[in-house]
Copies of this chain bind each other. A is one copy, B any other.
Amino acid sequence: MRIALIGYGGVGKAFIELIVDKSSKLKEEGIDFEVVYIMNSKGGIYNPKGIDCAELLAASKVCKNTFEDINENKKITPDFMLQRKDVDLIVELTSTNKETGEPALTYILKSLENKIHVVTGNKGPIIHGYKKLDKIAKENGVYLGIGCTCGGALPSVNGGVIEMAGSQIYSIEGVLNGTTNYILKEMEDTGCTYDIALKKAKDFGIAEANPSFDVEGWDTAFKLLILTNVIMKEEKKLSDINIEGITGLKPEDIKIALEEGKRYKLIGRTTREGKELKMVVKLEKVGKEHSFYNVDGKNKAVRYISDTLGELTLIGGASGTTAAAASILRDIIYICKVSGE
């Protein structure tokens, strides 16, 4: 299988490292692929016989800017790749454009139209165009892997699509955002204020300089929206979700919860109420009998309740670029197996 990588940030680099680490083992299992394009916003590198990823990484150790140095060919762009069509799968890891999903949405759409499988870790195009992309993929007999968009290593999408297949899903609930989970744990463990916990999260690189996307509940809402639309086959919008973040939480609230034997979690939840779907993101207190009680900073969780397969809770999803890259690899392996390529 010939792969093009679009986007060479943290997860993109971790993906190349993972391929170098895992390729011989995967080859033994009949999973064989080579990377022929690596592109970022400035251009790219291309080797129709397969890029030597180990060499690229070795060079990177000597000079941090190696990729930029090698990456002098401004003609190597997604459009160039889509004209040649000499790949079987693209890994799309450009930055998320929350407003329009572009340019990733167009890259993904054109790839699928050209019968090229796609695996993406980018929420933007999935929020803005999943239904269309899914339709185009099916019409062209190719696959669209989106596992990385909802919790990375936590197989939340597969959990609903593959593991609950054949059942009707009554509800989706999840602790889907690592940053807020870290902040809540910090407030619990130390009794500190939200501001102090946020500062620590920023210091450790867990929270972004502008953390509003996480702490105001938007990241959780994006993920809940993707899970709901993909697993329940809905066409909901962000505006259908009642979203609250964690910024108003006081140390006193945490103290009272702890005295009750409970912990605060930022939970995204979609439930069926008659013919309607109710979607909310809000802080909830959960007791030790709840399967989310132990979902701490490092992990995320999702729970499905169904008619015939009962409940399924998945807890996991190690953070970091390696885990995110590993979730991209998981989707690629699935596509290799189901497409027989």
Chain A residues with a Cβ under 8 A of chain B: 18, 22, 25-26, 153-155, 158-159, 162-168, 288-291, 293-294, 298-299, 308-318, 322-323, 325-327, 329-330, 332-334, 337-338
Bound-state Cα–Cα, A293 to B158, Å: 25
Determine if A288 and B294 form an interchain contact, defined as CB atoms under 8 angstroms apart: yes
Determine if A326 and B166 form an interchain contact, defined as CB atoms under 8 angstroms apart: yes
Q: Which of B294, B309, B327, B333 interacts with A327 by CB under 8 Å?
A: B309
Bound-state Cα–Cα, A166 to B153, Å: 11
Bound-state Cα–Cα, A25 to B306, Å: 15
Determine if B338 and A337 form an interchain contact, defined as CB atoms under 8 angstroms apart: yes
Determine if A288 and B293 form an interchain contact, defined as CB atoms under 8 angstroms apart: yes
- Closest residue of chain B to A339 (Cβ to Cβ) is B338
Known: A158-B162, A165-B334, A334-B165. A309 touches B316 (CB 8 A): yes
Determine if B312 and A162 form an interchain contact, defined as CB atoms under 8 angstroms apart: no
Chain B residues with CB under 8 Å of A293's CB are 288, 294
Copies of this chain per assembly: 2
29 examples of A-B residue contacts, CB within 8 angstroms? A18-B166, A153-B308, A153-B309, A153-B312, A158-B162, A162-B162, A163-B163, A163-B330, A165-B333, A165-B334, A166-B326, A166-B329, A166-B330, A288-B288, A290-B294, A291-B291, A291-B315, A298-B310, A308-B322, A308-B323, A308-B329, A309-B318, A310-B317, A310-B318, A310-B323, A311-B316, A311-B318, A313-B316, A337-B338
Chain B residues with CB under 8 Å of A337's CB are 338
Q: Which of B166, B290, B308, B327 interacts with A26 by CB under 8 Å?
A: B166
Determine if B165 and A312 form an interchain contact, defined as CB atoms under 8 angstroms apart: no
Determine if A153 and B316 form an interchain contact, defined as CB atoms under 8 angstroms apart: no
Q: Which of B26, B167, B315, B332 interacts with A313 by CB under 8 Å?
A: B315
Determine if B299 and A153 form an interchain contact, defined as CB atoms under 8 angstroms apart: no
Chain B residues with CB under 8 Å of A317's CB are 310, 312
Known: A308-B323, A314-B314, A322-B308. A334 touches B153 (CB 8 A): no
Bound-state Cα–Cα, A49 to B189, Å: 65
Bound-state Cα–Cα, A317 to B338, Å: 26
Bound-state Cα–Cα, A308 to B310, Å: 29
Identify which of A18, A158, A298, A332 gathers the most chain B CB atoms within 10 Å of its CB: A158
Determine if A310 and B316 form an interchain contact, defined as CB atoms under 8 angstroms apart: yes
